[in-house]
Amino acid sequence: MAALLYAAVLIGANPAAGQTLTPDQRAAVEALRTDDMRKLVVHADPIPAPDVVFTDPNGAEHRLADSNGRLRLVTFWATWCAPCLEENPSLDALQRTRGGADFEVLAIATGRNDPAAIDRFNAAAGITALPPLLDPKSALARAMNVPGLPVTVILNRQGAEIARLMGGADWTSAAALAIVDYLAGVEG
């Protein structure tokens, strides 16, 4: 049944869709929300990303709006966050299997996260595909209204938030992969 629904949703995807998901597209994503993905909230209208800088360990500045035309899944996490330790390996796997020119996962460590602690966290969790990104003063997390960790947002190709999931999730689940694949097709 789930496979038939997934196929039907993909057939109905509109590859020319722009920044706003149509009601039918939102309904299609809603139909895919099972298991952990039940927590995913799909917005009626995209929410512009705040123009707040985050960095990589070398100090290079980045902004969420700098989407480079990619659909992006952005997670806010911290080294002390137990649910993040459980969730981040699935995000790493999602980046390895789906990441590329059209889609990427960004894992932004927010708050006080020593770079050495991030390296230890990633090593302990087997994370190899997610480069460390930093929001040391939680400025981006505050601007994105992140009340706790982890929080994951999905940004469309224009860099605006189209969906949000509060708490941890398995991003390698059939439901998560179906949602990511559908949104990549709609946003393509």
| pTM score of the predicted model | 0.88
Under the banding of pLDDT at 50, 70 and 90, the label for residue 188 is: low
Enter the DSSP assignment of 76.
Answer: E
Q: Find the Cα–Cα–Cα–Cα dihedral 41, 128, 55, 71, rounded to 10°.
A: -40
Contact 105, 73 (CB under 8 A): yes
Average pLDDT over the chain, rounded to an integer:
89
- pLDDT tens digits, 18-68: 468 999 999 999 999 999 999 999 999 999 999 999 999 999 999 998 888
Q: Which amino acid is at 173?
A: S
Asked whether the predicted pLDDT for residue 169 surpasses 70, the reply is yes
Length of the chain: 188
Beta strands, E only, 60-170: 61-62, 71-77, 103-110, 133-135, 151-155, 160-166
